[in-house]
Structures are given as structure tokens and as C-alpha cells.
Structure 1
Amino acid sequence: MKRRILNTLLSRAAVAGRAIQARLRKYRVVPSHTTSNKRDDTTEFTIYPKTSVPTLPLNIKKVSVYRERTNNLDTPQGRADAYRNLADEIYHSARQMPEDSTAQQILIFHVLELALKGYLIHTGLKEEQLSKRPYSHNLINAYAEAKRRGLRVSLAGGAEPHDIILGSRGAGADLDKVDLIINWANEFHDRGVLRYSVASALLPTCLDVFPIIDEVLKAIPNGDD
């Protein structure tokens, strides 16, 4: 008797499940919000009828045109191209952001890192080497190695850095403007200080960094040339 009741309940549950699946086929489920804490991660979903949901919801990342055009990633030059193209893509977007906003500075420092790594890969360093110390996110070490391998960056005609870096930061140091700006930016980029700190801080302006990025990107040959 108990087994018959159990079988009946299971049969009804299966029928109900198939009915729910049939109804859900008419809808598209889109993640709308995610909350995280130490105990769990919770994602809320919004259900739209398939006829009304946009083809590309705003929270779905489009495929990058630059990445579609990347050369063969199995070759050093192809990897260098990939880094240059990714840096150029982020650079273009970051320059449209509010001037010297925290978001713009985070992205611009990241672009500088990508550009330097692209140059170093072009000159023979492996990505595995660049992912570890002394490189990793360290702009000073990446730039020093790039200079050792032939990179030349000049700020002639570019933005003048803040007086403070030419004064207190440059006192007694044999550093040019580019070194001073990169050293300053590295204080906030290398250990993620800028990404996670809510405290006020004085940073180099993005206009100080733009000419450096331009020069490094130009120094990476295009594999299609």
C-alpha cells in the first residue's frame, strides 16, 4: 500500500516537472543581481518571455572585435599582438571616462602594464615569467627590463608631470620623467592599493601616463606588417 502511494506521488511529481519545463521553455532566465558574503553567494534571476528579452542584454559582455582579430596565439609575436590589442581596447574605452576618476586611473595603470608586458613578450620573455615576481603587476621592474631590451620612451611634447614628483620624489635620484611617473603609479598599482583603498591619495594624472602608453604601444611591432 505504501509503495503504491509512493509510486503515485512520484508519478505526479514527474508530470508536474514536465509541465514546468514546458512552461519555462517559453522564457529566458537572465542573472540580474549577485550578492556575496563569507557564507554564500546568491544570484537573483529575472525571467523574461523570450519574445521580449533583448538579443544582447546589457549585462551580457559582447565579444571583443580586437580579440577576434588577434594573430596566432601559439607564437610569441601573436601573444605580443594580443597584449597590444587588449591594451589598446581598454585604453580607448578608458579615455572616454571622466578625467582622472578612480576608474580611469585603475584602467590606465592596467593598460600600461599590458603594454609593457606585450613589449617584453615581443622581445622573448614568456608569459609565465611575467606572471611572477619580479614582474607580476610591478610597473617599475617591467619598465626597467623593457629599457634593458631596447625600449625608448620620451615625454618630449607630452604632459608635464606634477611638480611634486620632480621635487620630493626626484630629489637625489637619477630618474627621468618617465621613471618618476612609473614609480609613482606603481605605488598604487602593484599591490592593488588603488583598486581597494577608499582613502584619498595624490596620484599622477592620466594625462601624465597617456604619452608613455602611446610610446610603448608603438614599440610593439604589428605581426600583420
Structure 2
Amino acid sequence: MGSDESYNFVFKVVLIGESGVGKSNLLSRFTKNEFSHDSRTTIGVEFSTRTVQMDNFTIKAQIWDTAGLERYRAITSAYYRGAVGALLVYDISKHLTYESAERWLKELYDHADPHIVVMLVGNKSDLEPSRTVPTDEARDFAEKKGLMFMETSALDSTNVEAAFNEVLSEIHRKVASKEVTRGSISAVTLSSPIRPSGDTQEERKGCCSRS
């Protein structure tokens, strides 16, 4: 989607959280405007892109959907490297998925850039009658940890665009303001426009090298 367009920045964003919280459907809703009622558990890592316009810049988001199951943890943590944004997702109807947020956050910070932009996302807001995680509790946790916060529903599209766009906007703000310099976000994103020559290996390496 948009792979043949020119773009100014490539931002690598990861989706993290427990299995079954709806990460894959958030990805497919944002990149393809699709939702699957019987989506399978992600094995390892899945990947998709979307190009968006923001403040006269064209930003290509490379979004990596990581498996939430414990047995894939060693594989998926390698994909955190080079990420400049993350959506830490839990299910508002399953408190256990929220309780693990702190552990996911620690794992992310152990492997990703220290200045990564992180949003805590309470997904499945369409399950309001079954809610077990109060909005205020999650918002307070996010504020305490310095995270952005939003509740979404991949099923009915509520706040999905807003969540991804706010993360991308905050990454871009940090890059544009040079708030973060050497060895951080501006070093792992592409600071100059890319020629509209498609996705060459060299272009991908500029932002999202796994080394």
C-alpha cells in the first residue's frame, strides 16, 4: 500500500501485548480496513505498511505485529530493535492482559530505543458490558509510565486511525523538533526524503535494520 510513492520518513512501529487482544485485527483494520472474526494466532511476526500524509510530509509506517505467546518471545524481541513507536495492546474485557502491560513495557525498553514513542491501547471497546479494566485505571497507569493512551475497537473501527496517527505524529514531532538527537529516534529514521524508487534493500535498512 503506497510502496511506489515517494515518502519522507519511514517509521517502524511494533504491536505488542498478550495473545488474543486483537493486535492482528488492529493492524489489518489500519492498513487494509479489514476485520476477521476468526483470525488465527500470530506465529512469530507479521508485517504490513501504510503511507500517510502528515504536516506536508509523507510518512511510511512499517508496522510489525508480534506474537503474544510466551514460546515466541525470543523471536519477537529481536524485532523491537529499530522501532521508533509501539502500541502496547490489552483487552478491556480481560484484566489479565492489562496486568501484564508492565512486563511487556520492560521487555520493550530492554530491546528498543529508549526514546521510543509508546501508546497503551485498550482494545475491544465494543465489549463495554464485559469490561474488567476501568478506563481511568489504565489512563492513570499510562500517565505514570509516560505513555500515550487510547481505547479502540478493531471490530467497529473506533479510534483505530486516531491511535496509529497519534503515535506517528508524536514520532514525527520528536524528529522534526530535533528533541531527540544522536543515537536515538532521528538516527534510526530517515532524515531526508526518499526517491520514489520503491522499497530497495538499502532504503529499508535506513530505518529498520534488525542488526
TM-score, normalization by structure 2: 0.26
Structure exhibiting the larger radius of gyration computed from Cα positions: 1
